[in-house]
Amino acid sequence: MLESALYFVVIVTASAVIGVLFMKLWHRHLGTYGFKRKTLMTANEKDFYWRLRKALGPAWVVFPQVSMGALMDTCLTPRHPRYWDVRSQFAQKICDFVICDAKTITPCLVVELDDRMHDFERDRKRDGLMALAGYRTVRFWSRAKPNVEDLKKIMEKELAIEKLTLSKPAN
Find which of 47-51, 88-92, 114-118, 123-127 is predicted with most confidence, using mean pLDDT.
47-51
pLDDT above 90 for 12:
no
**What number is the average pLDDT over the span 9-31?**
76
Q: Residues 128, 132, 133, 135: is their CA dihedral positive or negative?
A: positive
Q: What is the pTM of this model?
A: 0.75
Regarding predicted confidence, which is higher, 27 or 76? 76
Hey, what's the torsion of the CAs at 69, 73, 77, 78, to 10 degrees?
-10
Regarding predicted confidence, which is higher, 116 or 59? 59
CA distance 61 to 156: 14
Q: What are the pLDDT digits (tens) for 22-46? A: 777 776 777 777 888 889 999 999 9
Regarding predicted confidence, which is higher, 24 or 93? 93
Mean pLDDT rounded to a whole number for the chain: 87
pLDDT above 60 for 169:
no
**What number is the average pLDDT over the span 63-92?**
92
- Check residue 108 and give its pLDDT: 94
Q: What are the pLDDT digits (tens) for 112-149? A: 998 877 788 888 999 999 999 999 999 999 888 999 99
